[in-house]
Structure 1
Amino acid sequence: MTINIIAALTFHQKIVEEDALEYSHRQLYISEELDSPSLRAESYLNLAKAHLRLGELERQVDFQQALNFARHSLYNKCELCATAGHVHLTVGSVYLELAGFNKALDSFQQAHRIALALRDTALELQVYVGLSELFSRLQDAEKSARYASKAYDLSRSLQLNDLNSRHHRAALLQMASALRKQGELGDAHDYCSEATRLALICGDQASYARSIRIMGDIYRNKSDINKAFRQYEAAMGSAAAMGDRVIQMESMDGAARCLEALRIQHKICNCRPLEFNTRLLEVAKSIGAKLLMRAVGLRLSGIYHSLGDENNKLHHEQLALKIQNDLALNCAACRSPYGLEDDSLEALSCSHILHARCAYELVRRNKKKKCPCPECDRTSSRLYLNCNDYNSMQYSPVQLSICSSDSHGTSHQATSSV
């Protein structure tokens, strides 16, 4: 259907998101006229994607609309089809932005199952990018890097047949972000530079803005605060031009971290960090980015403490603690928090997340039978993320120079069951 092609192309050619909604509604009207469940499912998927994008651009309510349209899409489509796979991927992306990590993981699991059944390489790649981002936000740098590497391997496969595709750029950026968190700053810089180059060639403004934001993170990790801040300023400008509040928010957070470093070193006073973090908190609230709201709240608490304002210090501390409790990021086994500092995580097939040490102890105690989830009591014969020995996991990034000379190679041997 021509209208379906237009609706799909809207997302890739950066036509205004309101136009995407209009085409998707037209497609839905046609599907009702034709009484076509397949076309109706695609219409609802396109509406869900449009509202996901609008939620990133403007307001949290669109995330809820995206979930509603995604559910409607599933009502009209078979369980194992490409449309259903992309619906689950979209739902996972929405829950990721709303910090619903268990629900996001469950949706990514379902999308991954469909991708494997259909041998849909592009869908599988996007699932790995989503999983990498999920574990990056939960401070598991090793798993984030592993899934980013799997996505990057797929982006270079013969099946996608386009090293300049948006999937390849997404995988490059995810590799750069994951390697940066592991401290591999040289490799991260190379991946990020390549993504920036390809984004400029293609006119991909969103990837370009994200790439210079990630480059800011890399410079910040190198303690080059001036270069980092300039990168964040450029990313904020690009994001503002597009109206992309998520990239703008992430860039503002990077700039706020730079200001915090300068404040702690007594190179600037508390005024600018206070003003900047207050604005950032408003943006994070408008999007519903709870993890960032918690982090900014703790920063503001520290600033108010330096100013001797104990009332505001306590206020922001309490808000941060409330958000932490609302997120319920507690290990299903030991009930202690996860995702607040660097750690290794695992998950059971029911999507409940545990510390890796707790998960392997659970498996060790139940060697001869299926292990029950401590959270929901559902039995599972294996860990979802990794069945191998906890101490045997290895990872090494592939160099871009090798990739360019051999675009069909594989960067590492994946050990995950996903």
Structure 2
Amino acid sequence: MGQNHTSNVLALSCTHNGSPDEHAHAHKQLERLLQQLVERSSGTEALNEFEKSTKGKYKTNIAKWECLSMAIRFLSTWGKYRTMVAFAIGQIELANDVGQQEQVSTTATSSWRRVIIQADSYLNLARGNLMLSNFSKSCDYAQKCLDLIGSIHGGSNESILICGHAFLIRGKGYLGLSNLKLALESIEKSLSVAHSYDNKALECLACCAMAAFYLEVKDYEKATFFPTKASELLSEYGKEWNKSFSITTQLSLAAAYRKVGKLEEAMRTCEDVMQLALEEKDRLAQAYCMLNFADVHRVRKDSERSLPRYDAALGLMIETGHRYGQVLVAIGKAKAYIRGKEFQQALQQYSAGLQLAESIGCKVVSMRIHGELAVLYQRMSDQERARSNTLSYHRLMEFIGLFCGVCSEAFGEKHELLEALPCSHLFHLKCVAEEGILDTMSCPTCQKSALKTAIL
């Protein structure tokens, strides 16, 4: 899934009034306080300490909510996702009370604002759970956010933007659960919102999510196109954007470069990202940089360099609680051990990765580990286990639906060009062209319109 670096949609500060210098001072004070807290506590304990430390400083629930909003941005950057989730839950509790203390809860304006901050709080909770690889929870909370926005009449730029980010997080959550149709559908909705409202920052993030989707199904041409598009948006419009956009975009590019064999470009890109990640104290970005470095060295058959970097990446993934990344590390280490013919150690890594992948519900990754295990057991002349893993591989492939609706052949096993119709069903591009699906104007799977509306 990669990363999900975004700042809060509402981007509120901890102070209602004051000069830019006063805002900057409050910002620094909050950063120092949080750094001290997260060094000695986490989760709900950290939230309780934070509330004690800030008690009396903010007179209203909305002011307290805004302070938590800024705190969550710091926690997200630092990879403190467990604590971020606790703070988001605290935000929701405050958001539910907003209006009562302000004594204007009967007005339409107050009701609208309360819904907006409730939705934004659930968006933070969805984002935190996504980064902890709690994909099902992430989808549920993103949907709760969308339901809240849908409950108010009329739309504003603020509410529409929240929806765009909620679609994005929901799409990434579905991708983590290997529900490819719903993942693509949600990411495309996010991209459509960005395009319709000319929001280049959201478009940039949605392009990176598209890249992750096409990496998962092994269409490396599109997996390269989308982060390239994101990079162009960043270059043209992103001079004032948060550095996290650059980190997310370049990590997406690096992953694509490695898959298409552009190893030098992947290394250079990751070196740039690592420098930014160190400056921003972005632990998860550092973890993905180490993972990319390790993968490149493994492909170059340099186990002496790859294995220590896998270990470093794993340490950072465990620290942040990013379980999906831990699975990727296990797979990479297993492949490195196989190159050195250390089959037992490879089996241990694959087994650990499979157990974790199953626990987070990532069926595509589970399927691929079964495929790797089948090949490994074959090399070890263990035909029974090879057959068992082959059967598991095909069962999962069928469950996920990695089959073209035209030719009935599988996709996602090797690099192939794919085509997604507006209904989000995937086909081989050559099958769409040969069968003239766009001419018949209907999807072979669901019979819905095959006519596309350009969104890029």
Q: Same fold (TM over 0.5)?
A: yes
Distance 1:107 1:132 in 2: 14
Cα deviation per residue 1:320-363 (whole Å; 9 max; x = unaligned)?
22111110111132222111211011111121111111122344
Distance 1:123 1:58 in 2: 22
- Which of 99, 119, 130 lines up with 2:198 in the alignment? 119
- Which of 377, 384, 409 lines up with 2:447 in the alignment? 377
Which amino acid in the other structure matches residue 288 of structure 1?
A: G
Partner residue in 1 for 2:292: 214
Partner residue in 2 for 1:82: 161
Structure with the greater alpha carbon radius of gyration: 2
Distance 2:407 2:220 in 1: 21
Q: CA deviation at 1:106?
A: 1.0
Instruction: Provide closer, same or farther for how the CA distance between residues 6 and 259 of structure 1 changes in structure 2, counting only shifts above 3 A.
Output: farther
Instruction: Provide closer, same or farther for how the CA distance between residues 86 and 58 of structure 1 changes in structure 2, counting only shifts above 3 A.
Output: closer
* Structure 1, unpaired ranges of 5+: 385-416
Q: Is the 8 A contact 1:93 1:104 kept in 2?
A: yes
Deviates more, 1:57-66 or 1:125-134: 57-66
Which amino acid in the other structure matches residue 275 of structure 2?
A: R
Partner residue in 2 for 1:26: 93
- Which of 303, 311, 316 lines up with 2:376 in the alignment? 303
Deviates more, 1:238-247 or 1:125-134: 238-247
Deviates more, 1:204-213 or 1:315-324: 315-324
Q: TM-score of the superposition, structure 1-length normalised?
A: 0.83
- Which of 229, 251, 261 lines up with 2:307 in the alignment? 229
Cα deviation per residue 1:147-198 (whole Å; 9 max; x = unaligned)?
0111111222344524x61011000110111111111111111111100110
Q: CA deviation at 1:132?
A: 0.5
Distance 1:304 1:42 in 2: 53
Q: TM-score of the superposition, structure 2-length normalised?
A: 0.76
Partner residue in 2 for 1:354: 427
Q: CA deviation at 1:220?
A: 1.9
Instruction: Provide closer, same or farther for how the CA distance between residues 336 and 67 of structure 1 changes in structure 2, counting only shifts above 3 A.
Output: farther
Q: CA deviation at 1:64?
A: 4.9
Q: CA deviation at 1:27?
A: 4.0
Distance 2:199 2:276 in 1: 24
Q: CA deviation at 1:382?
A: 3.6
Alignment of 1:255-404 (within 5 A): 255-263=333-341, 268=342, 270-363=343-436, 366=439, 371-382=441-452
Instruction: Provide closer, same or farther for how the CA distance between residues 365 and 305 of structure 1 changes in structure 2, counting only shifts above 3 A.
Output: closer
**Identity across the alignment (%):** 20
Q: CA deviation at 1:85?
A: 0.9
- Which of 207, 212, 216 lines up with 1:133 in the alignment? 212
Q: CA deviation at 1:303?
A: 3.5
Instruction: Provide closer, same or farther for how the CA distance between residues 364 and 286 of structure 1 changes in structure 2, counting only shifts above 3 A.
Output: closer
- Which of 257, 274, 278 lines up with 1:179 in the alignment? 257
| Match status 1:12 vs 2:68 | no
Q: Is the 8 A contact 1:56 1:287 kept in 2?
A: no
| Match status 1:205 vs 2:302 | no
The alignment yields a C-alpha RMSD, in angstroms, of 2.4
Distance 2:151 2:65 in 1: 16
Q: Is the 8 A contact 1:345 1:353 kept in 2?
A: yes
Q: Report the secondary structure of 1:379's partner residue.
A: coil
Q: CA deviation at 1:131?
A: 0.2
Q: Is the 8 A contact 1:249 1:280 kept in 2?
A: yes
* Structure 2, unpaired ranges of 5+: 1-61
Which amino acid in the other structure matches residue 169 of structure 2?
A: T
Distance 2:317 2:393 in 1: 27
Q: Is the 8 A contact 2:421 2:450 kept in 1?
A: yes
- Which of 227, 230, 235 lines up with 1:151 in the alignment? 230
Partner residue in 1 for 2:129: 54
Q: Report the secondary structure of 1:23's partner residue.
A: helix
Instruction: Provide closer, same or farther for how the CA distance between residues 244 and 365 of structure 1 changes in structure 2, counting only shifts above 3 A.
Output: closer
Q: Report the secondary structure of 2:446's partner residue.
A: coil
Cα deviation per residue 1:64-91 (whole Å; 9 max; x = unaligned)?
5335424433433557711111111111
